[in-house]
């Protein structure tokens, strides 16, 4: 359900398409996550959405930033000098290995050798890719990420008094609920590491926009497992997905071989999320249009791209007319920043921010 404040703002936007971010809602959500996590440190995974206005809101609630490139590092250190940064990501360049950090998440024995060779001080978490079952995940991070037990053992011999082992880092999967994440944490915290970053990947359900990951249960579960260790998490999607909206207008309605379509200004080159995740983006149609159109029947929402892949949502039962306003929810993470903006050279959306 889109609240009246957001709906009202969406209807007043001067141009379409546009992104609308609800900053007070983000502030409230991040504060609740912070409270629920107790002594567990909270970093934000910047790759989910690096928008500076969102980061300014999050900065009041997070302990630091997880960045995965030199570009993200430059972005957050210029915005928030002095805030802790954890530097991760596969394939770090020599220049990236030289960046200042609170922690660096080392992905392989060779990367650790190259880090030692810089001659700089470094505080390392080894990124482990453990052989743990992760059922029901949207995306598991097996494959090239991090290292197995052999790789980690090889690393142990490479540390020096300048390059220090601080603990473990893992990011096992995305789309896990609190119970699954606590189970994985229990298996990981078996070892004798004093510091563990448990990653992100908290579930976000696009099919049920009003449900939320159970932060209270996760916080309590980790508190029970902590036993004097320093724990950290680094969610992305579950922090910012809910505060973003993509607002546009219906430019055409039509029926082709029985199927009703609403063609919208813009497209998935602005909001790639439904295509990459293979879901229907949650949508609300506001009757601001005129004329005739499908009434209470399954409608497929498409954009202006000349490709059959440009689909936001399929067979949503609704009434829709040319000129109606269409609001997509859950467009605050892995949305604009993962999209192929320049494809077809349509105008870019405007960005608007609801303030408190
Ligand atoms: C992407 C990523 C995250 C954030 O994942 P979400 O699913 O957005 O919570 C955290 N840590 C690492 C290492 C990542 O690659």
Domain 23-241 carries which CATH code?
Answer: 3.20.20.10
Select from 104, 193, 105, 108 the least CA-distant residue to 144: 108
Contact in structure between 355 and 24 (CB atoms under 8 Å): yes
DSSP 194: S
Q: Kindly report the number of other CB atoms within 10 A of residue 311's CB atom.
A: 19
The C-alpha atoms of residue 209 and residue 223 are separated, in whole angstroms, by 28
Rounded to the nearest whole angstrom, what is the distance from the C-alpha of residue 306 to the centroid of ligand 1?
32
Ligand 1 binding residues, C-beta < 6 A: 45, 47-48, 66, 88, 171, 174, 199-202, 234-238
pLDDT of residue 131: 81
Residues 338/331, Cβ–Cβ less than 8 Å: no
Q: Which pLDDT score is estimated for 42? A: 98
pLDDT score at 135: 72
Q: Quick count: other Cβ atoms within 10 Å of Cβ 277?
A: 15
Measure the CA–CA gap between 329 and 111, rounded to whole angstroms: 40
Nearest atom in ligand 1 to the alpha carbon of residue 238 is 9
Neighbour tally for 95: CB within 10 Å: 8
Compute the distance from residue 327 Cα to the ligand 1 centre, in Å: 26
- Ligand 1 centroid to 66 CA: how many Å? 9
Task: Give mean pLDDT in consecutive 10-residue pieces for the chain, a chain of 356 residues.
Answer: 95 97 98 98 98 98 98 98 97 98 98 98 95 73 84 96 96 89 89 91 96 97 95 98 98 96 98 98 96 92 97 98 98 98 97 94
The DSSP annotation for 81-107 comes to TTS-EEE--SS--HHHHTS--SEEEE-
Q: Is the dihedral of CA 332, 333, 335, 341 positive or negative?
A: positive
Active site members: 306
Residue closest by Cα to atom 7 of ligand 1: 201
- Which residue's CA is the nearest one to ligand 1's atom 3? 200
Hey, whose CA ends up nearest to atom 13 of ligand 1?
171
Confidence at residue 191, expressed as pLDDT on a 0 to 100 scale: 75
Question: Which atom, in ligand 1's list, is nearest to the CA of 334?
Answer: 8
Q: State in words which class domain 242-354 has.
A: mainly beta
The pLDDT assigned to 141 comes to 67
Q: At what angle do helices 215-226 and 178-188 cross, to 10 degrees?
A: 20
SS3 label, residue 48? helix
User: Cα(345) to centroid of ligand 1, in Å?
Assistant: 30
Condensed to tens digits (0 to 9), the pLDDT of residues 48-82 reads 999 999 999 999 999 999 999 999 999 999 999 99
Structure tokens belonging to residue 331: 């467009």
**pLDDT confidence of residue 291:** 83
Q: Is the peptide bond before 328 cis (omega within 30 degrees of 0)?
A: no
Index of the ligand 1 atom closest to the CA of residue 174: 7
Ligand 1 atom nearest to 235, measured from its CA: 9
Ligand 1 centroid–CA 104 distance in Å is 15
**Burial degree of 253 (CB within 10 A; 0-12, 13-18, 19+):** buried
CB 19 within 8 A of CB 349: yes
Q: Domain boundaries in the chain?
A: 23-241, 242-354
Give me the pLDDT at residue 160, please. Answer: 97
């Amino acid at each position: 359900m889109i609240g009246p404040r957001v709906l009202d703002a969406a209807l007043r936007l001067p141009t379409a398409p546009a992104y609308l971010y609800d900053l007070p809602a983000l502030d409230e959500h991040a504060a609740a996550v912070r409270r629920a996590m107790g002594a567990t440190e909270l970093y934000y995974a910047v790759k989910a959405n690096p928008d500076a206005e969102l980061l300014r809101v999050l900065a009041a609630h997070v302990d630091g930033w997880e960045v995965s490139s030199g570009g993200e590092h430059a972005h957050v250190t210029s915005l928030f000098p002095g805030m802790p940064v954890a530097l991760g990501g596969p394939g770090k360049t020599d220049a990236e290995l030289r960046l200042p950090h609170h922690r660096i998440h080392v992905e392989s024995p060779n990367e650790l050798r190259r880090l030692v060779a810089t001659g700089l001080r470094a505080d390392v978490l080894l990124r482990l890719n453990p052989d743990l079952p992760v059922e029901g995940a949207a995306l598991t991070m097996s494959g090239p990420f991090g290292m197995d037990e052999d790789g980690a053992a090889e690393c142990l011999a490479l540390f020096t008094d300048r390059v220090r082992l601080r603990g473990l880092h893992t990011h096992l999967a995305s789309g896990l609920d609190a119970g699954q994440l606590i189970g994985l944490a229990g298996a990981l915290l078996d070892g004798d590491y004093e510091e563990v970053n448990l990653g992100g990947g908290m579930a976000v359900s696009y099919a049920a926009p009003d449900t939320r990951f159970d932060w209270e249960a996760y916080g309590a579960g980790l508190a029970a497992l902590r036993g004097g260790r320093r724990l950290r998490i680094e969610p992305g999607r579950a922090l910012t997905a809910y505060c973003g909206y993509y607002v546009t207008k219906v430019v055409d309605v039509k029926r082709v071989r029985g199927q009703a379509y609403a063609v919208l200004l813009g497209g998935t080159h602005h909001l790639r999320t439904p295509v990459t995740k293979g879901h229907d983006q949650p949508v609300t149609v506001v009757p601001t249009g005129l004329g005739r159109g499908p009434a209470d029947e399954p409608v497929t929402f498409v954009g202006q791209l000349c490709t059959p892949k440009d689909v936001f949502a399929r067979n949503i039962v609704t009434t829709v007319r040319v000129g109606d306003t269409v609001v997509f929810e859950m467009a605050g993470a892995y949305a604009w920043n993962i999209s192929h903006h320049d494809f077809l050279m349509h105008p870019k959306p405007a960005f608007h921010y609801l303030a408190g």
